[in-house]
Structure 1
Amino acid sequence: MGRTEWFILLFLGAVWGGSFFFVEIAIEALPPPIVVAIRLMGGAVILWGIALVAGHRPPASLSLWGGFLLMGLLNNALPFTLFAWGQTQIASGLAAIFNATTPLFTVLAATLFLSDEKITLRKGTAVLVGFIGVIVMIGPSLLAGLGDALWAQLACLAAGASYAVAAIFGRRFAKLGISPMVAGAGQVSSGALLYLPIAALNWQGADFSAAGWQTWAALGGLVLLSTGLAYGLYFQLLARAGATNMTLVTFLVPLSSILLGGLFLGERLDPRHFAGMALIGFSLALIDGRLLRLLTPRQRTPAI
């Protein structure tokens, strides 16, 4: 990945980590399913608005919309629902660890289904180091809860696998010449459509009069940054850097979430947080490879 790809990856890690910050504020007044529905519907409006202003038009191909529906299912409706249900029975930190299994699934799936993303020793080591970094940062003690609420944990694990499959499948849109903004708009609007039944079941329990300016500001951040802008960049990075590199963002999400919690919510940063961050940084440096090349002495060609 070049500088642009690394910037997009770091930005996505920040805004998707920030989504936990926004959600924590929004769900104080509104039910989580309503927050997710507003996020998807608002994000779809933003993405289509940008796409139309840029001169793009919604595609007419039914097969392409079928692909958007599958992406909306795999990358939005299904994992959002699985994580929401799973977190009713297990700690959010353990759910975040399951979310960080996404690059592990992606490496395996890419090796099986993509000819240009085969696993290498460096790539495999980097993904494992990053995953260990997430465990260290969130708290290894959470792993003591493994085995409790088995179905909830399997649901979160399935959500991580769903994200991985979405990253593999999503590469096809770039090969078809679909604009990243159109692909993002198609996916998010399809995810919103699939999520409507869940939102309808929870609409009666939503008391919008309890939502103050903080709630609407948090929803605005979710819609504008964590969904509208983020998913347009998601498809751009997927096309430019590949599925495995794209899913490395799941290592950065808990990192930025913990930093934002420390800065704005008064949450304490412990030594394990910094140790985990160091491991994640090392894993990203391994993936990048340039640091290793700088540290590895070059073999000189003997003079003839």
Structure 2
Amino acid sequence: MLGVLLASTMWGLSSVFMKVALPGMPPFGVAFIRVLLSGLILTPAALLRARGRTAPEVPASGGRERVHLAVLAVTTVALPFCLTAWAQQQVEASLSAVLHATVPLWTLGFAILMLGHRPCGRQLGAVAIGLLGVAVLAGPGSHDLTGCSWGGCLAVLAASACYGFGWTYMRRNLSHRQPLYITAVIQVGALLVLAPLAAATTDTGHVELTPVRIASLLALGVISTAGAELLNYRNVIRLGPTSAALTAYLIPVVGVSAGICVLGEPLTARLLIGAAIVLGSVGLAVQRRHDREKPSDRHGRTKPAWAE
């Protein structure tokens, strides 16, 4: 389980790294650097894995598949990275980490709409409880969460919805492709989307990159994005999807702890109660009907808990 703890720590620290880097660079610039650094690692990793296979994955040749990959590049990388970076200017890193824990709930909702999944009463209840948790975190009276704003909270929730949509879209249209291959390709696609946005919104004369901010940018792209993706891919293959999914519960814990210890953010009763409600709803949403671990295939693919 050390791999799960390490992956959760890598992902959970992303909000802190962004918070530190943002004063020196606008959000689109931070998102661009993040994708550039992660792409420089994930693309060679995908090529090395393909080289060792008897039937290596080849670049997409069909127009329809290119469209699917382009959709994923926007919905799972470019758009959520920009939304999250912008939101970090409006909300605390700890609150952002908790709101990102709603990804499984969004995934469940899109599975109902796109895959014809029939939710059970437990899962419908999980969605309702999750909405309650979000209301506690960002609803009336949330001024006691320093720096919290409705716009920032909505941006984080929109980024989480993007992930839920993208992962469901990938399962529906690209399940024949190796996940690591898809991840590498969409990083390149997102880079093409973000490059003009970053260039148009970044005034080099006002970029203030201190050594600490540069280190945060490097850590964001290399550790919290590429490193976490590769380690999670390894965890799914070695431990199975159920064990690897524990990261959904641990990321908010890491994010909140880092926000308090590193950034000096306050620990409020509202944050604790809201986090407990959200994580409880996620537990209900992804709970399996049996305890037996379903093995993943040689690509690391498996049927997710919400699709049972």
Question: What's the TM-score once normalised by structure 2's chain length?
Answer: 0.70
For 1:182, the equivalent position in structure 2 comes to 181
CA contact (8 A) 1:17 1:256 kept: yes
CA contact (8 A) 1:18 1:257 kept: yes
For 1:71, the equivalent position in structure 2 comes to 72
Q: Distance in 2 between matches of 1:274 and 1:153?
A: 16
**Does residue 251 of structure 2 align to residue 256 of structure 1?**
no
**Does residue 187 of structure 2 align to residue 192 of structure 1?**
no
CA contact (8 A) 2:102 2:282 kept: no
Cα distance 1:261–1:87, how it changes in 2: closer, same or farther (>3 A)? closer
CA contact (8 A) 2:42 2:184 kept: yes
Q: Distance in 1 between matches of 2:77 and 2:26?
A: 18
Task: Spell out the pairing of 1:181-220 with structure 2 (5 A cutoff).
Answer: 181-205=180-204, 210-220=208-218
For 2:266, the equivalent position in structure 1 comes to 268
- In structure 1, the residue corresponding to 2:167 is in which secondary structure? helix
CA contact (8 A) 1:78 1:162 kept: yes
* 1:121-146: CA deviation from partner (whole Å, max 9, x where unpaired): 122223433443455456762399xx
Overall identity of the aligned pairs, in %: 29
CA contact (8 A) 2:25 2:202 kept: no
Q: Distance in 2 between matches of 1:172 and 1:189?
A: 21
Higher helix share: 1
CA contact (8 A) 2:19 2:88 kept: no
Cα distance 1:166–1:196, how it changes in 2: closer, same or farther (>3 A)? same
Q: Distance in 2 between matches of 1:280 and 1:269?
A: 17
Which protein is bigger by CA-based radius of gyration?
1
Cα distance 1:133–1:12, how it changes in 2: closer, same or farther (>3 A)? farther
2:113 partner letter: L
Instruction: Identify unmatched segments of 5+ residues in structure 1.
Output: 294-304
Q: Distance in 2 between matches of 1:196 and 1:104?
A: 31
Instruction: Give the C-alpha shift of residue 275 in structure 1.
Output: 2.9
My pick for the range that moved more, 105-114 or 152-161, is 152-161
Instruction: Give the C-alpha shift of residue 222 in structure 1.
Output: 0.8
Instruction: Give the C-alpha shift of residue 184 in structure 1.
Output: 0.9
My pick for the range that moved more, 193-202 or 126-135, is 126-135
Q: Distance in 1 between matches of 2:185 and 2:263?
A: 35
* 1:173-231: CA deviation from partner (whole Å, max 9, x where unpaired): 6621x2222111111211111111101113433656x4232112211211112221334
Task: Spell out the pairing of 1:221-236 with structure 2 (5 A cutoff).
Answer: 221-232=219-230
Q: Distance in 2 between matches of 1:280 and 1:154?
A: 15
Residues paired across the two proteins, number: 278
Q: Distance in 2 between matches of 1:263 and 1:152?
A: 22
1:126 partner letter: A
* 1:58-89: CA deviation from partner (whole Å, max 9, x where unpaired): 5142443332211011112233344556777x
State the Cα RMSD in Å. 4.2
CA contact (8 A) 1:65 1:186 kept: no
Q: Distance in 2 between matches of 1:220 and 1:138?
A: 31
Q: Distance in 2 between matches of 1:97 and 1:290?
A: 23
For 2:114, the equivalent position in structure 1 comes to 113
CA contact (8 A) 1:170 1:235 kept: no
- In structure 1, the residue corresponding to 2:119 is in which secondary structure? coil
Q: Distance in 2 between matches of 1:172 and 1:140?
A: 38
Q: Distance in 2 between matches of 1:164 and 1:280?
A: 16
**Does residue 55 of structure 2 align to residue 54 of structure 1?**
no
For 2:305, the equivalent position in structure 1 comes to none
Instruction: Give the C-alpha shift of residue 48 in structure 1.
Output: 0.7
Q: Distance in 2 between matches of 1:105 and 1:263?
A: 30
CA contact (8 A) 1:104 1:128 kept: no
**Does residue 24 of structure 2 align to residue 29 of structure 1?**
yes
Q: Distance in 1 between matches of 2:42 and 2:131?
A: 31
- In structure 1, the residue corresponding to 2:23 is in which secondary structure? coil
- In structure 2, the residue corresponding to 1:267 is in which secondary structure? coil
Instruction: Identify unmatched segments of 5+ residues in structure 2.
Output: 52-56, 292-308
Question: What's the TM-score once normalised by structure 1's chain length?
Answer: 0.71
* 1:68-113: CA deviation from partner (whole Å, max 9, x where unpaired): 211011112233344556777x656887787566544432321232
My pick for the range that moved more, 10-19 or 189-198, is 10-19
Q: Distance in 2 between matches of 1:105 and 1:285?
A: 14
